[in-house]
A and B are shown apart, each in its own frame.
Chain A
Amino acid sequence: MTNVAMRSSAAESAAPTQSAILNKLRGRDAIFHMLTRIAALGVLLTLGGVIVSLIFGAWPALSTFGFDFLFTASWNPVTEKFGALAPIYGTLVTAIIALVIAVPIGLMVAMFLTELCPMALRRPIGIAIELLAGIPSIIYGIWGLFVFAPFLQQTLQPFLISSFSSIPVLSTLFAGPPYGIGILTAGLILAIMVLPFITSISRDVFETVPPVLKEAAYGMGCTTWEVMRNIVLPYSRVGVVGGVMLSLGRALGETMAVTFVIGNAHRISGSILAPGTTISASIANEFTEAVDLMHSSSLVALGLILFVITFIVLAIARFLLMYVERQR
């Protein structure tokens, strides 16, 4: 009896401390909650602020030129007639060239690294690719201008011009003179720059494929190609699409390297060897000296358009992923 009473009194005396500890923990948890929420809302607020200030800054240009801004190729700071078509065209074409080249190569490198590469070579090649991602874009720009462009001017471009000169559509696409710099060169530089993204993401998702699936396929007599094509790629396609979209985002927004090698001409040309410009290159080139309101406002409007393009690309990627998920 006394024993029980003692025990209960002990419990009573212990109770407040226990609830105090719990309260303390709950309080900490609430603070943690709040901090994470502030961090997340902060991102949202920043994004909203960027959109609002872009629209605000672009308004003089957008209200003056209206929808014509999107479909006019003229960019004349003297007469203050501005249109975004040439930079939009250049941005999309260079990004497409970059992906057309980088996606197959990147996937092949990733497949080699995960399936075929001797163990001893895996780390060196993997590290080399990650180093490629760490090179600042200004270095790519300078290298592109002083090494890569003269090389292309003397080798690839004359070859393309002469070999396609008699084929109807391709002869316009590869019409000379070989300047060395231009849309194609910018696309090639971008391909090199996004390659590490595609490769390292694909390699990581390829490695998540359960070995038992691959072993079963090999056991049934599949070749390596068949295993890659029918087991690894279908299993990891969500991740691969994600990697490609990430690279597309980088290719659309890349500024410095492109500015050096694209030729910076506000013109749309049928030939991909001709100089062109991209949205981010135009902004980087002209913003410092844009004194007139309409000029700087048009550059901000270009920024807004790039924002919208990136948003559309991300939305398409989401839809693709949802579609792929539903197919399963």
Chain B
Amino acid sequence: MKKFFRSMAVAGVALAAGLSPALAAEISGAGASFPYPIYAKWADAYKAETGTGMNYQSIGSGGGIKQIKAKTVTFGASDAPLKGEDLAETGLVQFPMVMGGIVPVVNLDGIKPGEMVLDGPTLAKIFMGDVKSWNAPEIQKLNPNMKLPDQAIAIVHRSDGSGTTYNFAYYLAEVSPAWKDKVGVATSLQWPAGIGAKGNEGVAGNVANTKGAIGYVEYAYALQNGLTHANMINKAGKTVAPTADAFQAAAANADWKSKPGYGVILANQPGDASWPMTAATWILVYAKPQDPAATADALKFFSWAYDKGDKMADELHYVAMPDNVVADIKKTWAAEIKDASGKPVFTN
């Protein structure tokens, strides 16, 4: 019996020794659910290539910020950027990882994807409940050749707190003073009208089920569900369709250095080709991490994703960060993220 226990103990120690390096190499992160599919895909490919895995809990941006502040994870992820003073106070470094587009989707008989055109002020009026019918003059003016039905507009919005809502509301507040005053910008809002549905899939489902409905979803969901998206008139006054090129144009035209931590919301960016509702998602890590090796592992993964992840992002209808922005981000890492001795934890 004693012998048995001894051999078990030996086996246990051997097992622990064998496992512990593998556990240490696991990158841990938590936060936004919007980028979860692409992070998971990158993590799979990265593990196949390097043997280092990633454990990402898609618990929402709010949860991600709480977890990184509690230091239970190596990085946090958020769809809404932290403000400069928050970053300074918490000692976090923030950088954008990947982007996506938000599109208005409608359900009207006889109208195909991309046929309808809307602009920001009209979209704000619709979601405030001020424009109630599809044949209202505001909509007709933007679509002079379209026969619009005399049908009530059924508004569908997100019921759960969401970065998508944050970016959508940010855009409407940019273009409509009334929206800024009465509704404002946050991850969940006091909506003046309409019904709330849970998640992108809930909004997509409700719009698909309800005649006369309008909603807003991530571009990928509009494609997957075969929904009818509307084109938008951007800041330059040009009509644009939601494409990867239009999202990338918005990112390229943005002045990323104007806000601390690259916290630029890509709504309503200048440029003829820019899609007005482009959204980035951010990563948060500590400038002086408790475990520099773990943070170095995480940065190595992010660096790999910037360099080699573009095609995978494209497949899932995300948009990779432009190269010039990535170069800046890598400089920021070298300059700001340091271990106790003041050496950068990761350099490319």
The stretch among B38-46, B137-145, B198-206, B269-277 that forms the contact with chain A is: B198-206
Interface check B185, CB cutoff 8 A: yes
Interface check A325, CB cutoff 8 A: no
Q: Which residues of A114-170 have CB atoms within 8 Å of chain B's CB atoms?
A: 145-146, 149-150, 153
- Cα A153 to Cα B191 in complex, Å, equals 22
Could you say which residues of chain B place their CB within 8 Å of the CB of A77? Answer: 161, 186-190
Contact of A264 among B66, B162, B184, B197 (CB under 8 A): B197
Contact A285 B195 (CB under 8 A): no
- Cα A255 to Cα B198 in complex, Å, equals 12
- Cα A275 to Cα B196 in complex, Å, equals 8
Contact A265 B186 (CB under 8 A): no
Given A288-B160, A290-B62, A291-B62, check contact A259 B187 (CB 8 Å).
no
- Cα A77 to Cα B184 in complex, Å, equals 9
**Contact code string B150-192 (vs A, CB < 8 Å = 1, else 0):** 0010100001111100000000000000000001111111110
Could you say which residues of chain A place their CB within 8 Å of the CB of B61? Answer: 289, 291
Contact A76 B205 (CB under 8 A): no
Interface check A179, CB cutoff 8 A: yes
Which of B61, B66, B206 neighbours the largest number of chain A CB atoms within 10 Å of its CB?
Answer: B206
- Minimal Cβ-Cβ distance residue in A for B32: A289
Contact B62 A265 (CB under 8 A): no
- Cα A287 to Cα B61 in complex, Å, equals 11
Could you say which residues of chain A place their CB within 8 Å of the CB of B160? Answer: 284-286, 288-289
Please give the number of chain B residues whose Cβ is less than 8 angstroms from any Cβ of chain A in the complex. Answer: 34
Given A78-B189, A179-B154, A265-B191, check contact A259 B206 (CB 8 Å).
no
Interface check B209, CB cutoff 8 A: yes
Interface check B239, CB cutoff 8 A: no
Please give the number of chain A residues whose Cβ is less than 8 angstroms from any Cβ of chain B in the complex. Answer: 34
Interface check A260, CB cutoff 8 A: yes
- Minimal Cβ-Cβ distance residue in B for A146: B205
Contact B209 A180 (CB under 8 A): yes
**Contact code string A267-284 (vs B, CB < 8 Å = 1, else 0):** 000000001010001001
Interface check A234, CB cutoff 8 A: no
- Cα A135 to Cα B286 in complex, Å, equals 45
Contact of A78 among B63, B190, B198 (CB under 8 A): B190
Contact of A145 among B60, B154, B184, B206 (CB under 8 A): B206
Contact B202 A145 (CB under 8 A): yes
Interface check A266, CB cutoff 8 A: yes
Contact A179 B195 (CB under 8 A): yes
Contact A177 B154 (CB under 8 A): yes
Interface check B122, CB cutoff 8 A: no
Contact A275 B195 (CB under 8 A): yes
- Cα A135 to Cα B54 in complex, Å, equals 34
**Contact code string A174-197 (vs B, CB < 8 Å = 1, else 0):** 000101111000000000000000
- Cα A145 to Cα B195 in complex, Å, equals 13
Contact B202 A263 (CB under 8 A): no
Could you say which residues of chain B place their CB within 8 Å of the CB of A179? Answer: 154, 195, 210
Could you say which residues of chain A place their CB within 8 Å of the CB of B63? Answer: 288-289
Could you say which residues of chain B place their CB within 8 Å of the CB of A78? Answer: 183-186, 189-190
Contact A74 B159 (CB under 8 A): no
Contact of A260 among B60, B189, B194, B198 (CB under 8 A): B198
Contact A79 B195 (CB under 8 A): no
Interface check A75, CB cutoff 8 A: yes
Contact of B187 among A146, A181, A291 (CB under 8 A): A291
Interface check B59, CB cutoff 8 A: yes
Chain A nearest CB from B47 CB (Å) reads 26
Interface check B65, CB cutoff 8 A: yes
- Cα A76 to Cα B62 in complex, Å, equals 17
Chain B nearest CB from A264 CB (Å) reads 3
Given A260-B202, A285-B161, check contact A150 B209 (CB 8 Å).
yes
Chain B nearest CB from A105 CB (Å) reads 27
- Cα A287 to Cα B187 in complex, Å, equals 11
Chain A nearest CB from B24 CB (Å) reads 29
Chain B nearest CB from A273 CB (Å) reads 11
Chain B nearest CB from A291 CB (Å) reads 4
Chain A nearest CB from B226 CB (Å) reads 15
Given A78-B184, A145-B205, A263-B195, check contact A291 B65 (CB 8 Å).
yes
Could you say which residues of chain B place their CB within 8 Å of the CB of A177? Answer: 152, 154
- Minimal Cβ-Cβ distance residue in A for B166: A289
Contact A289 B161 (CB under 8 A): yes
Contact B210 A263 (CB under 8 A): no
- Minimal Cβ-Cβ distance residue in B for A296: B62
Contact A264 B198 (CB under 8 A): yes
Q: Which residues of A28-77 have CB atoms within 8 Å of chain B's CB atoms?
A: 74-77
Given A177-B152, A179-B154, A275-B196, check contact A75 B190 (CB 8 Å).
yes
- Cα A77 to Cα B209 in complex, Å, equals 29
* The 5 nearest A-B residue pairs measured at CB: A289-B161, A288-B60, A264-B196, A264-B159, A78-B184
A-B pairs with beta carbons under 8 Å apart, 21 shown: A74-B190, A77-B186, A78-B189, A145-B202, A149-B209, A153-B209, A177-B154, A263-B196, A264-B196, A264-B197, A265-B195, A265-B196, A285-B160, A288-B59, A288-B60, A289-B60, A289-B61, A289-B63, A290-B161, A291-B61, A296-B62
Q: Contacts A180-B210, A265-B196 known; list 4 others, CB within 8 Å.
A: A76-B189, A77-B187, A275-B196, A291-B62
